[in-house]
Amino acid sequence: MRKKGCSKALRDHADITEAVNVYGDTVMRACAVHLRQQADRDDVFQETFLRYAQHDGAFNGEEHRKAWLIRVAVNVCKDLHKRADRKHSSLEEEGGSENPALATVDTTSASTQALDLQEALQQIDEKYRTVLYLKYYEGYNAAEIGQMLGQPENTVYTNLARGRKALKEVLAHGD
């Protein structure tokens, strides 16, 4: 993170705007997988693109830029979870277990299943949630996920299998 008063230039405004337009939905989905509160999602979204604006490194194509943005969003979500004041808050203090982003969803079967899946994802370990998100929402393969997360490919396969098992258990038991 840059120090106050640092005179380093930000990325070009057009570049930032393009990144938000092209990858904004992807970043918001990554936030939704990790955070229940819309305000937290908005904060992480803003922080992710602020870091993008401040990042002076080059990207090796659009996939690299997308992966970088997702990785930053996930890391900021993790940082938010680590904060001491977040560790001790209960669901009741956070406004209950209802997901505000899905509150306007109709009650059709597909929408109900999506809501159940979203709630189930919130209940499994974050390391499994992250790999499942990257695999099934963003379409990355195990090698790409491993590279993004700094993990061996076999670890990714293990976490995918364990994540699917944990998700299946949560969905079967309704816990």
Q: DSSP letter string over the chain?
A: -PPTT--PPPPPHHHHHHHHHHHHHHHHHHHHHH-S-HHHHHHHHHHHHHHHHH-----SSHHHHHHHHHHHHHHHHHHHHHSHHHHT--TTTTT-S--GGGTT---SHHHHHHHHHHHHHHHS-HHHHHHHIIIIIS---HHHHHHHHT--HHHHHHHHHHHHHHHHHHHHHT-
Question: Residue 19: its pLDDT value, please?
Answer: 94
Task: Identify which has the larger pLDDT, 153 or 96.
Answer: 153
What's the Cα-to-Cα distance from 137 to each of 25, 50, 119, rounded to whole Å? 12, 24, 15
Question: Residue 105: its pLDDT value, please?
Answer: 38
Span 153-160, mean pLDDT? 94
Span 23-39, mean pLDDT? 90
Question: Residue 115: its pLDDT value, please?
Answer: 53
Question: Residue 174: its pLDDT value, please?
Answer: 67
pLDDT digits (tens, 9 = 90+) for 95-122: 444 444 334 334 344 445 555 677 788 8
Average pLDDT, the chain: 79
Question: Residue 118: its pLDDT value, please?
Answer: 74
Least confident of 19-28, 37-46, 77-86: 77-86
